[in-house]
Amino acid sequence: MTGGRKLLGHVALLLPPFGWLTLFYLGSLFILLLSAFWQVDPMSGDVVHDWTLDNFRLLVSDATYRIVAQRTIGIAALVTVTDILLAWPLAYVIARKVGPRLKLTLLVLVALPLWSSMLARIYAWRLILGHDGVLNWFLRAAGLPGQSFAFTNVALWLVFSYLWLPFMLMPLVSALERIPASLLDAAGDMGATPWQTFRTVIFPLAIPGMAAGSVFTFAVTLGEYVTPMLVGGAGSEFIGNVVYANVGVSGNVPFAAAFSMVLLVVIGAYMLVARRFGAFEGA
């Protein structure tokens, strides 16, 4: 009796948030899915509710969208690998090599940029990489030839790697912190050199941390459109930019929805992979 009432209480407690989520989140996802099969009248801009696969047909037949999708996924993957490489040494030092006070200082320094506006940080990179920017100023002062990374995919790669590094670093630090020191002793005890210990114990145990970090570096990069708009150049369009152009500029929501579905499928598939590697297992 009381058990039943208790259950009823739980349900009542969960109903508002879940109902809300279902209605707004799944509801809008459903509408997105639906509208991908509609079309827009080019002159009036009205959505025509006739079922059609034209949007998907165009996505498949026009190489442009494959190129954009490949670029998006490619850069997201490159950013992920870059951030993993950049985060490892720093995370290792923070997690296992320094005292608690220095650790706190370093973590605050890592998190510090997150308290400033992302747009400001992206613009800062424009100032650094620009033709008459800070980097070239130093290069020229050193008698070296100037770079022209501004508004290229290289700039995009640099800025993304910079933006998401803290998000790779933090979960990696916490994954490394959670490895008991005795495991490393045990590996050495059984004959593993420090490198072998890293390869067979530390690295595998840090995989969930890297997977959690990659949710930002990979999945969030996939859905980005602001950074490509600001620091990308000709040939830096992301899926998000095409979606944005179709919604905010062309008013072609159905086509935007169709391309978004592609993004959604890629991100969904990636989340499953990340979960498989323990990205979402408790901190």
Partner 1 sequence: MQDNATTGAMAVGLSGLTKSYDRGRPVLKGIDLEICPGEFFTMLGPSGSGKTTTLRLIGGFELPDAGQVTLLGRDVTRLPPYQRDVNTMFQDYALFPHMSLRDNVAYGMKIRGVGAAERTERAQQALDMVHLDAVSDRRPSQLSGGQRQRVALARALVNKPKLILLDEPLGALDLKLRREMQVELKRIQKQTGITFVYVTHDQEEALSMSDRIAVFSEGVIEQVGTPQELYERPASRFVARFIGSSSILGGEHGCAILLRPEDVRMEPHGYTPTPDEDILPGVVEEIAYLGPVTRCQVQRMETGACVTAMVPSRTARTLQEGMAVVAVWAKDVAYPLPR
Partner 2 sequence: MKGFTTALLMASCCTALVAQAHAADLPGAIGKGEGDLNVVAWEGYADDAWVKPFEQQTGCKVHRKYVGSSDEMVALTRMGGGKGFDVVSASGDAALRLIFGHNVQPVNMSLIPAYDDLMPELREPSFNTVKGVHYGVSYEWGPNILMWNTKAFSVAPTSWAVLYDKAHAGAITVPDNPIQIADAALYLAHVKPELGITDPYELTQPQMDAVVALLKDQRALVKKYWALASDEVDLFKSGDAQVGSAWPYQANTLRAAGVPVQDTIPTEGATGWADSWMISAHAEHPNCAYLWINHVMTPKVQAQQALSFGETPGNTKACAEMDAQQPGSCKQYHANASSAYFATIKFWKTPMKACGNGQNTCLDYSAWQRAWQQVKQ
Question: Residue 71 or 169: which CB sits closer to partner 2?
Answer: 71
191 scored as a contact of partner 1 (CB under 8 A): yes
Tell me the closest approach of the beta carbon of residue 163 to partner 2, in angstroms: 19
Q: Name residue 86's amino acid.
A: L
2 scored as a contact of partner 1 (CB under 8 A): no
Tell me the closest approach of the beta carbon of residue 271 to partner 1, in angstroms: 21
How would you label 184-216 residue by residue, b for 16+ Cβ within 10 Å and e otherwise?
beebeeeebeeeebbeebbeebbebbbbbbbbb
Tell me the closest approach of the beta carbon of residue 248 to partner 2, in angstroms: 5
Angle at alpha carbon of residue 179, lines to 207 and 220, rounded to 5°:
35
Altogether, the residues listed in the chain come to a count of: 283
Applying CB under 8 A, which of residues 196, 235, 248, 283 lies at the interface with partner 1? 196
Indicate which of partner 1, partner 2, none lies near residue 201 (CB less than 5 to 8 Å, by partner kind). Answer: partner 1
Task: Pick out residues in 167-186 that bind partner 1 (CB under 8 A).
Answer: 180, 182-183, 185-186
Question: Residue 19 or 204: which CB sits closer to partner 1?
Answer: 204
Beta bridge partners of 48: 39
Angle at alpha carbon of residue 230, lines to 226 and 231, rounded to 5°:
115
Q: How many residues bind partner 1 (CB under 8 A)?
A: 18
Tell me the closest approach of the beta carbon of residue 185 to partner 1, in angstroms: 5
At 131, list the tokens.
């033709």
* Distance (Å, whole) CA 66 – CA 87: 31
At 259, list the tokens.
């391309």
Tell me the closest approach of the beta carbon of residue 129 to partner 2, in angstroms: 9
At 171, list the tokens.
């979960």
Indicate which of partner 1, partner 2, none lies near residue 237 (CB less than 5 to 8 Å, by partner kind). Answer: partner 2
Q: Which residues bind partner 1 (CB under 8 A)?
A: 180, 182-183, 185-194, 196, 200-201, 204-205
